[in-house]
Amino acid sequence: MVKKNHKKILIASIFCTIFISSLFIDINAIFNHKDSKDHKLKLKESSELYNPNLIVSFNSSSYPIEVEQKFEYYGGTIKKRWNNNVFNSFSGFSGFMPIEQNKTDFYLEFPNAFIESDEIIEAQMNYAAYQTGAINSSWNIDGYKGDTNSSIAVLDTGVNISNPYLKNKTIAWEDILNGGMMTDVNGHGTFISSVISGTGITSYNSTESSDLVFLKNYTHSEFFGNDIYPGNFSIKICTLNLSQSDSHFYINSSWNEITDGIDKFWVELYYEGDLVNSSNLTDSVWKSINYTISEEETGIYDVFIKYHKELNKDPKFRFKLNGDFFPESYVKNFQRYTGIANRTKLVNYKILNESAKGFMSDLISGLESVIENRTNHHIISTCLSIATLGEDNNAILNVIDEVIESGIMVVIAAGNYGVQTSNSLNTIAENKNAIVVGAINDNDEVTFYSSMGKNIGNDVIKPDIVAPGGSQLAEHRSIISADANSNKTTVMYGTSISAALVSGVLNLLVEAKWNNWNQWNIGDLKNKVNILKAMVLMTATETLSIREDNPNTDINEGQAQYSPRRYLNLINLTDRAGLTDIHEGYGRLNVLTAIDALTKNLEPNISVNGHLASSNVNPLKAHAYARQVKLEKNHQYL
């Protein structure tokens, strides 16, 4: 379990020591406190938009106890506290204030406090390693696997610490929500952890098939809007590259109607866009497809569900699938579905519930523990595969800055909100110092769900970079990783996966440059984490591709305004803002090039021959070349 300084593992057991003296804090100067007798409790009815779950914070390392006393005086209830000097310039608490007017009156007592909604956050959910170049650079050539005696903190739905794909990976954990044993009912946290550091359980050349499980609840309107008319509708379950001839792709599936509105349901199997098999399904009855892969039909296969919706209905249903298949294999001597940094350890935090939802305050508490346990568990980076579109983000942005100041880089998913609004960017990602990651498909095209970014101020554009995240479209690979509750695999997509990949890459860079934790932990850590960020961003390359188009929306996401643009100007060393855009940042992740830029040198006047390809020509080729060059001052080079 995660060790705590000053406290036990249960968050409910926190005891804060408050120093109220002029030596530590000037109460009147910071809080402008007023006499309480001027105020009375208000019972005015709150507006419908009022969120009674609040975060109260200050730009100081602690606050006086009377702030809490006043909050409770106005009818509030304290839930979580951050007042033990873990942060240098942040402190506060979360709580519940049922009356909106009382919140206003409380603020009048402490006008220098920041009061914001405790926003709801949610999860954002191998070939991907091959696509980024990680396999060539880290596994086959240099042997980098993230073996640095260090760890990555993952704040998510938890983790199944006994999952065979993550054997001996989790060295510490904490359930922020309940304070109990670590679990992962949802499965998102286990999947993400396996993307980072999974070991796999089946050899690359095994004659055994891989098992696939899938279970998900669907609401029609969440995919297709509130259309009242009847019709046939299709949803992709997964896309797999089945490259072994004379093998079998076996699918056994069932569905259950939760609310009525479906009168026909079937599963369809496509090969490179053509329907090759299907099965009509009756509610709660399992039926199977067993398809033989001939030598002429190796390649990309899609599994879709299709159903007929009745008039004026918005059906909800559950779909279940079990299958087995022989996957594509790219790397000799490595297990199938190995994580990108497969020797890295993990520190897992449960901050989201079984529905993959939680509160911003739980995220803050998790990050507080990350700072406290940096040296205990050798934490190098933190993966935040979570998002919100809630507007209140002052507290979390300050906390993320504190984590980076402590020497831990924070990697954040851009969000899965697409281009539907001008503010689609995950508001947790509006941080200038973190690495914010969008998603691309297996052709290096920005996925339609990857949130469009924006200028967050001072010409800082987010996202910073894009990495593989899987696609919802036909004929584009799904991301395969560990299922939380079995020894099987499952499929997901999302900027969550993209952020997880970049988190793992940071540990590869540390291993390549500093070899181990002891060397990494010497010197200016804030500068070191910024070097990691710089290497990743500087070596990214433009995709030169239009964004995927979602066929289920009225918007054409493939239009130029929603797609990455090509940088055509000469590089201006004093103004690099033009090198990035709001869709792909600096471009797609190139792991090999980032490692080379950090570890290899090039002598002046030396010629180098090689081949580079753009993403739209071949997403698997090298896209960039980078070396360090030492130049002498006042010396002219040709």
Share of the chain above pLDDT 70, in %: 86
What is the Cα–Cα distance from 562 to 452, expressed in whole angstroms? Answer: 8
- What CATH number corresponds to the domain at position 103? 3.30.70.80
pLDDT score for 127: 47
Burial 269-291 (b: 16+ CB within 10 A, else e): bbbeeeeeeeeebeeeeeeebeb
- Regarding whether 359 and 319 lie in a shared domain, the answer is no
Same domain (yes/no): 433, 371: yes
When pLDDT is averaged across residues 75-95 and rounded to a whole number, the result is 94
Confidence at 205, pLDDT banded by 50, 70, 90: low
With respect to residue 246, please indicate whether it lies within any of the assigned structural domains: yes
pLDDT score, position 572: 53
Can you read off the two tokens belonging to residue 141? 């050539």
Tell whether 4 is covered by a domain.
no
Residue 462 lies in a domain: yes
Residue 174 maps to a domain: yes
Q: What are the pLDDT digits (tens) for 257-300?
A: 999 999 999 999 999 999 999 999 998 899 999 999 998 999 99
**Within a domain: residue 610?**
no
Q: Does residue 249 come out as left (phi exceeding 0), alpha (psi in the -120 to 50 range) or beta?
A: beta
Compute how many other C-beta atoms are within 10 angstroms of the C-beta atom of residue 355.
Answer: 12
Q: Which CATH number goes with the domain that contains 437?
A: 3.40.50.200
Same domain as 354, residue 496: yes
Same domain flag for 112 and 135: no
- Of 98, 118, 138, the position where a domain reaches its end is 118
The DSSP code sequence of 245-313 is TTEEEEEEEEEEEEES-EEEEEEEEEETTEEEEEEE--TT--EEEEEEE-GGG-EEEEEEEEEEEPTT-
322 three-state secondary structure: strand
- Shared domain check, 173 and 271: no
Number of alpha helices (DSSP H) and beta strands (DSSP E) in the chain: 14, 26
Q: Are residues 348 and 492 in the same domain?
A: yes
Q: What is 568-587 written as a DSSP string?
A: -SPP-TT--GGG-BTTTBT-
Q: Which of 54, 85, 118 is the last residue of a domain?
A: 118
Whether residue 45 is predicted with pLDDT greater than 90 in this model: the reply is no
pLDDT band at 237 (very low <50, low <70, confident <90, very high): very high
Rounded CA Rg of the chain = 26
**Looking at the predicted structure, is the pLDDT value of residue 24 above 60?**
no
Same domain, 342 and 462: yes
The string of pLDDT tens digits covering residues 516-560 is 999 999 999 999 999 999 999 999 999 989 999 998 888 898 888
Tell me the C-alpha distance between 199 and 337, whole Å: 7
Let me know if residue 619 belongs to a domain.
Answer: no
Residue 520 lies inside a defined structural domain of this protein: yes
Q: Which of 36-40, 269-273, 578-582 shows the lowest per-residue confidence on average (mean pLDDT)? A: 36-40
Whole-number pLDDT of residue 20: 24
| Total domains in the fold of the chain | 3
Rounded mean pLDDT, 194-212: 81
Other C-beta atoms closer than 10 Å to the C-beta of 129 total: 27
pLDDT band at 607 (very low <50, low <70, confident <90, very high): confident
Helix %, strand %, coil % of the chain (to 5)? 25, 25, 50
Helix (H) or strand (E) segment spanning residue 528: helix 525-538
Contact 214, 304 (CB under 8 A): no
**In which domain, by residue range, is 141 found?**
122-202+335-596
Q: Which residues contact 10 (CB under 8 A, 6 or more apart)?
A: 179
Evaluate whether 372 touches 82 at the Cβ level (below 8 Å): no
262 and 408 together in one domain: no
Relative to beta strand 262-271, strand 299-309 is antiparallel
Residue 384 lies in a domain: yes
Indicate if 496 and 588 belong to the same structural domain: yes
* CA distance linking residue 254 with residue 127, whole number of Å: 28
Same domain, 184 and 163: yes
Identify the pLDDT of residue 39.
Answer: 35
Q: Which of 57, 83, 118 is the last residue of a domain?
A: 118
User: CA separation (Å) from 525 to 76, 518, 522?
Assistant: 40, 12, 7
Minimal CA–CA distance to 188: which of 599, 449, 497? 497
pLDDT category at 17 given cuts 50, 70, 90 is very low
d(CA 248, CA 543): 35
Please indicate, yes or no, whether residues 575 and 447 belong to a single structural domain of this protein.
Answer: yes
One-letter amino acid at 359 equals F
- Of 622 and 421, the structure prediction assigns the larger pLDDT to 622
The confidence band for 571, taking pLDDT boundaries of 50, 70 and 90, is: low
Judge residue 454's burial from the number of C-beta atoms within 10 Å of its C-beta, 0-12 exposed, 13-18 middle, 19 or more buried: middle
Q: Can you give the pLDDT at residue 342? A: 87
Q: Is the pLDDT of residue 214 over 60?
A: yes
**Statement to judge: residues 484 and 566 lie in one domain:** yes
Mean pLDDT for 326-342 is 72
What is the rounded average pLDDT of the residues 293-309?
93
Share of the chain above pLDDT 90, in %: 65
The overall average pLDDT reported for the chain is 86
| CATH number where 244 lies | 2.60.120
